[in-house]
Amino acid sequence: MTLAVSLRVPDGLVIAADSLSTTRGEIGIQGEFKGQCPACKKDIQLKDIKFPPLPIPSSVSSYAQKVFAYKEHYGIATYGMAILNEKTIYYHVKLLEQIDSSNEKAVVTKIAKKLMEYFHGEIKKQFKDIDKAPDTFKPLGFLIVGYDNEIGKTIEIHIGKKPNIEERIGSGCTIGGDIAVASNLWEIGKKDPRLSTKYASFSLQDAVDYAEYLINTTAKFQRFANMIPTVGGEVDIALITPYKKFTWIKCKKLTKILELDK
């Protein structure tokens, strides 16, 4: 899964995500079944019964790239599926960036709609019977941040059978992916206003630290929980301001080679 975080504060926008990626496989289960016939009350024993396959983690990587620059003025974070049609989400985003012929600084809402259209098409290629899936089937999500006329925005899109898009403006924090731990932290503030988070008073450094705090807290909680971790690895963080393009604050060494040392 992952935890993607976007913050909107007076001086800028912060986008961040962890780097853990889990590939899921399937295990087949076969066994015997003993029971009793409801009609004749005789014992029944069935052998070599095959049960539906169970999904299990087959491999884990701590180096997935989930935060991307887009046309220098915008930031994207992804959560959910890591591989789509045998390509990483990073590959798809960079491909879309190359074929996107729009002006260098477009409207962030239009960029989000292009992203939604592109990935909805890719999802339909991989899941050819997606029309049979429930309407809630949305295995891939994105947070897109940027400025439109000096108004900072976070746009969240969910990709699946019925993709949807949501726009948020004003000071605040938007999260996507494995949000349980962060959401419960926010509940404390709802119960006691003295413990609520005042995003409108955050500096850029506060926003950077808070994004990392939410991701690291989730990862540390999952370490001790009775579950397979879905958040972990290094945290990638970037920011955008009204007067400066997409800037990496913290990123993996390979990201530095690919994105900075050009």
3-state secondary structure the chain: CCEEEEEEECCEEEEEECCCEEEEEEEEEEEEEEEECCCCCCEEEEEEEEEEEEEEEEEEECCCCCEEEECCCEEEEEEECCEECCEEHHHHHHHHHHHCCCCCCCCHHHHHHHHHHHHHHHHHHHCCCHHHCCCCCCCEEEEEEEEECCEEEEEEEEECCCCEEEEEECCEEEEEECCHHHHHHHHHHHHCHHHCCCHHHCCHHHHHHHHHHHHHHHHHHHHHCCCCCCCCCCCEEEEEECCEEEEEEECCHHHHHHHHCC
Q: Which of 4-18, 104-118, 125-139 has the lowest mean pLDDT?
A: 104-118
User: What is the domain partition of the chain in residue ranges?
Assistant: 3-20+62-260, 26-57
Residue 25 confidence (pLDDT): 56
In terms of Cβ atoms closer than 10 Å to its own Cβ (0-12, 13-18, 19+), residue 217 is middle
The residue that leads in pLDDT, 123 or 107, is 123
Residue 16 confidence (pLDDT): 98
CA 172, 177, 182, 187 torsion: positive or negative?
Answer: positive
pLDDT at 50 over 70: no
What is the residue-averaged pLDDT of the chain? 89
What average pLDDT does this structure show over 29-48?
71
Of residues 235, 229, 175, 177, the one with CA closest to residue 19: 235
pLDDT band, very low/low/confident/very high, at 8 (cuts 50, 70, 90): very high
pLDDT at 56 over 70: no
Residues 163 and 145: their CA atoms lie apart, in Å, by: 18
Residue 100 confidence (pLDDT): 87
Q: Which of 6-10, 30-34, 207-211, 213-217 has the lowest mean pLDDT?
A: 30-34
Q: How many CA atoms within 13 Å lie on the side-chain side of 137?
A: 13
CB 165 within 8 A of CB 155: yes
Q: Which of 35-49, 197-211, 247-261 has the lowest mean pLDDT?
A: 35-49
The residue that leads in pLDDT, 35 or 20, is 20
| Residues 181-238: tens digit of each pLDDT | 999 999 999 999 999 999 999 999 999 999 999 999 999 999 999 988 999 999 999 9
pLDDT band, very low/low/confident/very high, at 41 (cuts 50, 70, 90): confident
**Phi, psi values for residue 259, rounded to 5°:** -105, -30
Residues 179 and 247: their CA atoms lie apart, in Å, by: 25
Percent of the chain exceeding pLDDT 90 equals 74
Most confidently modeled of 19-28, 95-104, 232-241?
232-241
Q: For the structural domain made of 3-20+62-260, what CATH number should be given?
A: 3.60.20.10
Residues 154 and 170: their CA atoms lie apart, in Å, by: 9
| Residues 132-179: tens digit of each pLDDT | 999 999 999 999 999 998 899 999 999 999 999 999 999 999 999 999
Amino acid 51 reads: F
Residues 66 and 142: their CA atoms lie apart, in Å, by: 9
pLDDT band, very low/low/confident/very high, at 255 (cuts 50, 70, 90): confident
pLDDT band, very low/low/confident/very high, at 258 (cuts 50, 70, 90): confident
Q: Which of 11-25, 54-68, 130-144 has the lowest mean pLDDT?
A: 54-68
Residues 87 and 83: their CA atoms lie apart, in Å, by: 5
| Token pair in block for residue 164 | 């949807």
